[in-house]
Amino acid sequence: MTEDVALALGALRRAFPGVLIWHGKHTRRWWAMAGGRLIEASDPRELAGRLSGQRL
């Protein structure tokens, strides 16, 4: 895991406590499990935007 990915993961996890968030090593996509839904994004900003619009 690169330092940039680790920093982004930390920021997302602090912003959305209780949400399972990860970066796919092989897919290179950003993922979250929130409110029983799997959410996917191309980058951390997109994932944060999608999570902000979800009922968690």
Structure tokens at 22: 């990860």
**pLDDT above 70 (res 8):** yes
pTM: 0.88
Per-residue confidence band for 55, with pLDDT thresholds at 50, 70 and 90: low
The model's pLDDT over 11-45, given as tens digits with 9 standing for 90+, comes to: 999 999 999 999 999 999 999 999 899 999 999 99
The pLDDT value given to residue 56:
52
Rounded to whole angstroms, the Cα distance separating 42 from 50 reads 11
Helices (H), the chain: 3-15, 44-52
Question: Apex CA 9: angle with CA 40 and CA 26, to 5°?
Answer: 55
The pLDDT value given to residue 53:
86
Per-residue confidence band for 4, with pLDDT thresholds at 50, 70 and 90: very high
Rounded to a whole number, what is the distance in angstroms from the first to the last CA of the chain? 27
